[in-house]
Chains A and B, each alone.
Chain A
Amino acid sequence: SQKIEQNSEALNIQEGKTATLTCNYTNYSPAYLQWYRQDPGRGPVFLLLIRENEKEKRKERLKVTFDTTLKQSLFHITASQPADSATYLCALDTNAGKSTFGDGTTLTVKP
């Protein structure tokens, strides 16, 4: 069956360091992958989308990589800030429409 795994229940890092979050998947051939941020009591907010033929995408302090051979995406936040503390979700998509989400990784950035 299809499975999406995001690394560790929680990730704690010091302000200024780089946070790296992992999304691994099995039995799936996504056309593209998205990363979202979710704060408590709020809906997910879109951050970045990367297509299967792209290796890397950047947006300000954010970087996403997508390795379809390893079936893995890495999400990096450089120069992390306490305001980056949130749950980060990866979502895999075919071109059919619906997204399949992982359970998220909760990031805490300590000052």
Chain B
Amino acid sequence: DTGVSQDPRHKITKRGQNVTFRCDPISEHNRLYWYRQTLGQGPEFLTYFQNEAQLEKSRLLSDRFSAERPKGSFSTLEIQRTEQGDSAMYLCASSSAVGGKGNQPQHFGDGTRLSIL
């Protein structure tokens, strides 16, 4: 169990550019979550996958955001045409769903900090 890893840890980019983040969950976990966190706030849910299926997307996830988990293992989160308001920490978490229910603790990575210039 090497934990949840996220790459890169930091990303600085100019407004209007596209960015992609990667998350590698704990290998035996079938659920993977993306959250966004700004300073002084708790994590805000963006989307989650069970295996390769994307089961829920938040209203926060505009059409500039897309997430994939093609083989039910790692996931990517892409933001197109970045805006100043996209600056935040993007957190990934994984868990195992027992009986199809999300009733197990989530294990978080240390996030990707995005800064838009």
Contact = CB atoms under 8 A, between A and B. Distances in A.
Contacts, number: 69
Interface stretch (B14-22, B77-85, B95-103): B95-103
A95 B110 contact: no
A25 interface: no
Interface residues of B, number: 30
Interface residues of A, number: 27
A15 interface: no
Given A43-B110, A46-B106, A93-B103, 15 more contacts: A41-B113, A43-B109, A44-B43, A49-B104, A49-B105, A51-B103, A97-B31, A97-B101, A98-B33, A98-B56, A98-B58, A101-B35, A101-B42, A103-B40, A103-B41
Interface of A: 4, 31-32, 34, 36, 41-46, 49, 51, 89, 91, 93-104
27 contacts: A4-B42, A31-B103, A34-B105, A34-B106, A41-B110, A41-B113, A43-B91, A43-B109, A43-B110, A44-B91, A44-B108, A46-B106, A46-B107, A46-B108, A49-B104, A95-B101, A97-B33, A97-B97, A97-B101, A98-B48, A98-B56, A98-B102, A99-B43, A99-B45, A100-B45, A101-B42, A103-B41
